[in-house]
């Protein structure tokens, strides 16, 4: 799928197909794009801009998500966003504090003892107060939805594969854990069912023991078998790194990542001291990168069909970066419209640059290749994951998509 | 290619030797079958090839094992990844990734094979094993045979010169096993891979094996061609046993060999009626001594009417009627997913049942609490060990007595009858497969059900253990119980069952006396029936007894063939 563009023969230009052939985009590109949108959202409380960002994210997701299970998670993030907004507004109503002059309605106030001075329950509800909550909530919700967009567009497993070599072990254990989890669920079901055959002696701790011991035994056996299988297939073949290198790698990566976190905080929080911002971010990034490079040097391993950065990926990541950068630019030049005034209340307005910034985020919806749909690939079997339980699924016939699942 | 130089191995310093003074030299391109009873060190021998033994198992290895000149003493198993490909019993337990293509590429990624080469090899391997249409599928959604072929493919992509297969088909139904073994044979013939295979369905590999390694159990390894070792090898497929009974030399290794030689034997047997397939003297119990061929159908114990089991939209069992009579052993056959297990669980009452009624002693086990249901119908599930959770055999027995509210010691008594000599202090999980099965069976029998259902009990049992288990089953029946066994094992069915019910797609497609059902289709027929067809003989024991009874000298029977009594 990544090799869809035939290498040009001498004397012939490589024919660019349009629309591009369907292929999954590098997950990293989607993440950069989504983070760009999220950063942009963090720089404004203008509901119009935030709504635009939401619309852009949702549109791109609808146009470019595949049909894998994680692609359906976007709806969940939208619900989460709505929940965040509702909570924010509700809190403003409950602990309103009564700022603002435009009183909409008055709720009976609950008197509190002296000790809780400064906290007010209910009372007058002002438009400023509600709007403030709404704007805040909307900003947070938009950022969450942006992350959700990345989650539903990018294949999490391919993302793990794209991890730098030094983090390979971490990625491998996550992948293994992901595959083992359904097996564990399956053995719990199987054992619970089998226990009924012994008259399901007792409940509570006794029953728990009857379930946990066979399940643990199963899990232990499986992990030993897996370890042996991985070793005989060459896993850890080049892990002959001396402990010192490992220590250096670990320290560098962790210190670097802490630096990156601090730096991000500095960049995103406008009130933070300037030294805590970009310099710390860049410094941390550099240290972490050095750690990954040191760690990566000892790795001799290749990747099967790695995702490559092609023009479409660059464009997607670039679109996200452009949105964030333009928004930052506006924040420096013309901040009024990014933070619409609450007192006096004013109708939020849009200016050209932020609108262009947000629209830049829409480009991937049109300029990237479509994701491959499994309908186009030969009869893909439904993933029977959870339904493979059944009376004997653990041992012999853990086989065809079984028809004997759980009660 | 592989050499063992005076190799000895013990799991514990002062424990018994799993391998003792083994000297072996296996040249390139051989198909080598490793055989022996369970627990004689087959897995140890196979694991030693790439150093998993002792590095992953613990224990003390003396001597030297080399593959292509590289010794396992100085290098970890990882360093053998390009030389030795290893596939175990349960493919799912060894999968690292979750889809077919990535699984095939995994080994190569570890060996840092260049991406272009990887791409090509994955395609080649997909074709070689006939799994190209599965490429993007999730591994868990594949059938057992497909999974096992993917597992073989995933070690082949690194182009190993040795393939080690530890009972690759023991968890598969016959068709799937056939697929896997034919893939292996193709590798041997087309690629010249050296294959070391431990396989309990010997009858399928024996005829192709260049060499047989027989482990008698004392830690030694006997090494020779199948024809040379078979005459006195304790583990032998039915066709070889038939050859022994008929006194043929050299022994036939395949049905084809035997069939070509059997004309005389068929003539001799033509006028004889086959004796009972399940001899009364096979077990230690006295009960079945005078067992006639077909146990007369006794009183009906269980009557099931139009049992239906569904899971969502899938119909697992569709309107199945079943009557079980006292003293009868019924085999339930059919491919994986045909509804055998669902039917058993529904009959016992613990599993889901959408419609239909079950009547046992006037009650319906599905409507009763679990403790009462198990006193009517007992069920031993496919993974019998799921029922065991205590520290010692004695504790399990005591627990079983308490569960069934019977006098203490009842379970232990049953266990001693079924499998004498299991130490009470041993941990249930340290027992062999056969002993575990006996323990679970004893626990279930403690509740004194008159109907006993066994789901795939013979999986993982070797020929001898199967024989012992067959005797146990016959005794249970002789004591007036009705036993149902879901199984794929035709030879076991031929030797033990009175009646066979075949299921397909949730429905009963055949139901009748064992010889009638089993001999009516070549796919289901046991080896002896294939050799002696159209005569209805099922087991080598039957033939041996008939020949002995005939008074002929079994060592030279064919001279008398013209004068049957």
- Better pLDDT: A239 or B506: B506
Predicted local distance difference test score (pLDDT) of residue A98: 62
Pick B382's closest partner by Cβ from A198, A387, A392. Answer: A392
Task: Say if the Cβ atoms of B96 and A172 lie within 8 Å.
Answer: yes
Cα–Cα distance, B136 to B117 (Å, whole number): 19
User: Which range (A52-61, A355-364, B488-497, B518-527) has the least confidence?
Assistant: B518-527
Instruction: Find the mean pLDDT for residues B112-124.
Output: 91
Nearest Cα residue in chain A from B456: A396
Q: Are A24 and A307 in contact (CB under 8 A)?
A: yes
Q: Does any CB of chain A come closer than 8 Å to the CB of residue B76?
A: yes
Nearest Cα residue in chain B from A195: B387
Instruction: Find the mean pLDDT for residues A333-339.
Output: 75
Q: Does any CB of chain A come closer than 8 Å to the CB of residue B158?
A: yes
Residues of A in contact with B446 (CB under 8 A): none
Q: Are B259 and B228 in contact (CB under 8 A)?
A: no
- Strand runs labelled E in B150-263: 162-166, 194-198, 211-215, 222-224
pLDDT at B514 over 60: yes
* Beta-bridge partners for B455: B486
- Residue B314 has φ and ψ, to the nearest 5°, of -85, 135
Q: Are B164 and B86 in contact (CB under 8 A)?
A: yes
3-state secondary structure of B198: strand
Task: Say if the Cβ atoms of A404 and B50 lie within 8 Å.
Answer: no
User: Which range (A146-150, A194-198, B124-128, B351-355) has the least confidence?
Assistant: A194-198
Pure H helices in A65-167:
74-94, 127-153, 156-161
Residues of B in contact with A176 (CB under 8 A): 96
Q: Does any CB of chain A come closer than 8 Å to the CB of residue B343?
A: no
Predicted local distance difference test score (pLDDT) of residue A84: 94
Predicted local distance difference test score (pLDDT) of residue B281: 39
Pairing label, strands B2-10, B60-67: antiparallel
User: Strands across the sheet with B314-325, in order?
Assistant: B314-325, B300-311, B355-360
Nearest Cα residue in chain B from A201: B403
Q: What percent of chain B has pLDDT over 90?
A: 33
Average pLDDT, rounded, for chain B: 85
Q: Are B60 and B5 in contact (CB under 8 A)?
A: no
Cα–Cα distance, B163 to B183 (Å, whole number): 12
Angle between helices B238-246 and B540-549 (to 10 degrees): 10
Separation in Å, CA of B374 to nearest CA in chain A: 6
Pairing label, strands B300-311, B222-224: unpaired
Predicted local distance difference test score (pLDDT) of residue A41: 92
Predicted local distance difference test score (pLDDT) of residue B561: 39
State pTM to two decimals: 0.76
Cβ neighbours around B412 below 10 Å, total: 20
3-state secondary structure of B411: helix
Q: Are B212 and B229 in contact (CB under 8 A)?
A: yes
Buried b (16+ CB within 10 A) or exposed e, B488-513: bbbbbbbbbbbbbbbbeebebebbee
Q: Does any CB of chain A come closer than 8 Å to the CB of residue B92?
A: yes
Q: Does any CB of chain A come closer than 8 Å to the CB of residue B249?
A: no
Pairing label, strands B211-215, B451-455: unpaired
Cα–Cα distance, A208 to A187 (Å, whole number): 14
* Beta-bridge partners for B358: B304
pLDDT at A310 over 50: yes
Q: Does any CB of chain A come closer than 8 Å to the CB of residue B31?
A: no
Residues of A in contact with B316 (CB under 8 A): 403-404
pLDDT category of residue A245 using cuts at 50, 70 and 90: confident
Cα–Cα distance, B182 to A56 (Å, whole number): 55
Task: Say if the Cβ atoms of A201 and B403 lie within 8 Å.
Answer: yes
The per-residue pLDDT for range A249-266, each reduced to its tens digit, is 778 888 888 888 888 877
Predicted local distance difference test score (pLDDT) of residue B163: 94
Predicted local distance difference test score (pLDDT) of residue A141: 95
Predicted local distance difference test score (pLDDT) of residue B99: 85
Does the bond joining B136 to the residue before it have cis omega, within 30 degrees of 0? no
pLDDT at B318 over 90: yes
User: Which range (B242-256, B265-279, B423-437) has the least confidence?
Assistant: B265-279
Task: Say if the Cβ atoms of B381 and A390 lie within 8 Å.
Answer: no
Q: Which of A233, A373, A406 to mutate to test the interface with B (most CBs of B within 10 A)?
A: A233
Task: Say if the Cβ atoms of A302 and B371 lie within 8 Å.
Answer: no
Task: Say if the Cβ atoms of A179 and B95 lie within 8 Å.
Answer: yes
Instruction: Find the mean pLDDT for residues B414-421.
Output: 85
Predicted local distance difference test score (pLDDT) of residue B7: 92
Average pLDDT, rounded, for chain A: 78
User: What is the DSSP secondary structure assignment for residue B106, as one 8-state letter?
Assistant: H
| The dihedral sign for the CA sequence A42, A43, A48, A49 | negative
User: Which range (A207-221, A340-354, B183-197, B549-563) has the least confidence?
Assistant: B549-563
Cβ neighbours around B367 below 10 Å, total: 11
pLDDT at A52 over 50: yes
User: Which range (B41-50, B480-489, B541-550) has the least confidence?
Assistant: B541-550
* Tokens coding A285: 């990034």
Separation in Å, CA of B273 to nearest CA in chain A: 37
Separation in Å, CA of A112 to nearest CA in chain B: 56
Nearest Cα residue in chain B from A303: B109
User: Closest Cα partner for B30 from B167, B179, B225, B290?
Assistant: B225
The per-residue pLDDT for range B444-456, each reduced to its tens digit, is 999 889 999 999 8
Q: Is the ipTM of this complex over 0.85?
A: no
Q: Are A370 and B125 in contact (CB under 8 A)?
A: no
Instruction: Find the mean pLDDT for residues B275-285.
Output: 54
Instruction: Provide Rg for chain B, Cα atoms.
Output: 25
Q: Does any CB of chain A come closer than 8 Å to the CB of residue B137?
A: yes
Pick A392's closest partner by Cβ from B400, B444, B456. Answer: B456
Predicted local distance difference test score (pLDDT) of residue A164: 72
Cα–Cα distance, B117 to A245 (Å, whole number): 31
Instruction: Find residues 163-182 of chain B whose CB sits inside 8 Å of chain A.
Output: 171-173, 176
Task: Say if the Cβ atoms of A199 and B82 lie within 8 Å.
Answer: no
User: What is the DSSP secondary structure assignment for residue A371, as one 8-state letter?
Assistant: P
Pairing label, strands B60-67, B70-71: antiparallel
pLDDT at A281 over 90: no
User: What is the DSSP secondary structure assignment for residue A163, as one 8-state letter?
Assistant: S
Range with top average pLDDT, B414-418, B460-464, B466-470, B495-499:
B495-499
Angle between helices B410-418 and B393-404 (to 10 degrees): 120
Residues of B in contact with A394 (CB under 8 A): 382-383, 386
């Amino acid at each position: 799928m990544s090799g869809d563009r035939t290498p040009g023969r001498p004397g012939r230009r490589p024919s660019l197909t349009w629309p591009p052939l369907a292929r999954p985009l590098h997950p990293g590109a989607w993440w950069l794009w989504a983070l760009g949108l999220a950063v942009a959202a963090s720089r404004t409380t203008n509901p119009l801009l935030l709504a635009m960002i939401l619309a852009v994210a949702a549109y791109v997701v609808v146009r470019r998500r595949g049909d894998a299970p994680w692609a359906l998670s976007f709806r969940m993030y939208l619900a989460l966003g709505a929940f965040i907004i509702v909570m924010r507004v509700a809190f403003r109503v409950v602990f309103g504090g009564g700022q603002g002059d435009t009183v909409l309605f008055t709720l009976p106030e609950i008197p509190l003892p002296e000790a809780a001075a400064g906290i007010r329950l209910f009372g007058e509800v002002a438009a400023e107060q509600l709007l403030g909550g709404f704007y805040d909530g909307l900003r947070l919700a938009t950022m969450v939805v942006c992350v959700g967009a990345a989650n539903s567009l990018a294949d999490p497993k391919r993302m793990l594969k794209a991890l730098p070599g030094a983090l390979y072990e971490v990625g491998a254990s996550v992948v293994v854990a992901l595959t083992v989890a359904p097996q564990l669920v399956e053995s719990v079901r199987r054992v619970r069912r089998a226990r009924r055959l012994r008259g399901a002696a007792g409940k509570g701790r006794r029953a728990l023991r009857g379930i946990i011991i066979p399940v643990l035994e199963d899990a232990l056996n499986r992990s030993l078998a897996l370890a042996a299988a991985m070793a005989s297939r060459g896993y850890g073949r080049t892990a002959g790194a001396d402990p010192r290198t490992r220590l250096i790698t670990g320290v560098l990566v962790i210190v670097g990542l802490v630096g990156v976190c601090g730096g991000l905080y500095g960049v995103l929080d406008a009130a933070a001291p300037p030294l805590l911002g970009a310099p710390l971010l860049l410094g941390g990034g550099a240290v972490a990168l050095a750690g990954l490079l040191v760690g990566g040097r000892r790795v001799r391993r290749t990747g099967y069909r790695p995702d490559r950065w092609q023009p479409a990926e660059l464009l997607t990541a670039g679109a996200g970066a452009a949105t964030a950068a333009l928004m930052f630019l506006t924040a420096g030049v013309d901040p009024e419209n990014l933070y619409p005034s609450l007192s006096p209340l004013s109708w939020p307005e849009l200016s050209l640059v932020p609108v262009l910034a947000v629209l830049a985020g829409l480009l991937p919806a049109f300029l990237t290749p479509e994701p491959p749909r499994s309908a186009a690939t030969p009869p893909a079997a439904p993933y029977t994951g959870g339904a493979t339980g059944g009376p004997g699924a653990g041992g012999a016939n853990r086989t065809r998509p079984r028809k004997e699942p759980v009660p | 290619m592989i050499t063992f130089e005076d190799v000895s191995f013990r799991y514990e310093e002062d424990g018994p030797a799993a391998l003792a003074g083994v000297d072996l030299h296996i040249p390139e391109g051989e198909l080598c079958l490793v055989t022996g009873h369970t627990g004689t060190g087959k897995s140890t021998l196979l694991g030693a090839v790439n150093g998993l033994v002792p590095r992953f198992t613990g224990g003390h290895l003396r001597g030297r094992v080399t593959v292509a000149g590289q010794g396992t003493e100085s290098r970890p198993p990882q360093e053998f990844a390009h030389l030795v490909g290893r596939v175990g019993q349960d493919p799912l337990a060894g999968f690292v990734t979750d889809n077919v293509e990535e699984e095939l590429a995994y080994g190569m990624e570890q060996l840092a094979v260049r991406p272009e080469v990887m791409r090509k090899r994955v395609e080649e391997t997909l074709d070689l094993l006939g799994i190209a249409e599965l490429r993007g599928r999730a591994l868990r959604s594949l059938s057992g045979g497909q999974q096992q072929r993917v597992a073989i493919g995933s070690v082949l992509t690194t182009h190993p010169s040795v393939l080690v297969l530890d009972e690759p088909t023991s968890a598969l139904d016959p068709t799937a096993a056939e697929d896997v073994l034919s893939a292996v044979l193709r590798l041997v013939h087309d690629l010249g891979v050296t294959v070391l295979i431990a396989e309990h369905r010997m009858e399928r590999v024996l005829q192709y094996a260049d060499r047989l390694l027989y482990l008698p159990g004392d830690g030694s390894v006997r090494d020779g061609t199948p024809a040379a070792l078979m005459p006195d090898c304790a583990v032998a497929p039915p066709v070889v046993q038939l050859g022994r009974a008929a006194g043929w030399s050299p022994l036939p290794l395949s049905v084809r060999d035997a069939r070509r030689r059997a004309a005389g034997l068929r003539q001799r047997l033509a006028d004889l009626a086959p004796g009972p397939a399940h001899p009364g003297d096979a077990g230690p119990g006295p009960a079945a001594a005078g067992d006639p061929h077909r146990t007369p159908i006794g009183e009906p114990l269980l009557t099931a009417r139009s049992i239906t089991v569904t899971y969502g939209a899938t119909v697992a069992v569709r309107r199945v009627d079943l009557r079980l009579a006292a003293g009868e052993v019924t085999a339930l056959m059919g491919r994986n997913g045909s509804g055998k297990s669902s039917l058993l669980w529904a009959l016992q009452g613990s599993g889901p049942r959408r419609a239909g009624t079950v009547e046992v002693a006037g009650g319906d086990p599905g409507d009763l609490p679990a403790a009462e249901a198990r006193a009517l119908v007992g069920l031993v599930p496919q993974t019998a060990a799921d029922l065991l959770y205590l520290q010692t055999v004695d504790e399990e027995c005591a627990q079983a007595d308490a569960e069934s509210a019977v006098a203490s010691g009842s379970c232990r008594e049953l266990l001693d009858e079924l499998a004498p000599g299991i130490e009470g202090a041993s941990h249930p999980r340290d027992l062999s497969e056969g002993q575990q099965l006996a323990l679970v069976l004893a626990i279930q029998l403690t509740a004194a059900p008159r109907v006993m259902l066994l789901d795939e009990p013979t999986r993982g049992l070797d020929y001898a253990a199967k024989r012992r288990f067959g005797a146990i089953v016959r005794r249970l029946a002789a004591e007036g119980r009705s036993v149902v066994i879901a199984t794929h094992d035709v030879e076991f069915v031929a030797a033990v069952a009175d009646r066979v019910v075949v299921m397909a797609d949730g429905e009963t497609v055949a139901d009748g006396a064992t010889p009638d059902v089993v001999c009516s289709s070549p796919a289901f027929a046991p080896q002896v029936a294939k050799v002696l067809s159209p005569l209805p003989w099922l087991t080598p024991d039957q033939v041996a007894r008939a020949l002995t009874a005939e008074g002929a000298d079994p060592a030279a029977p064919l001279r008398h063939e013209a004068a049957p009594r």
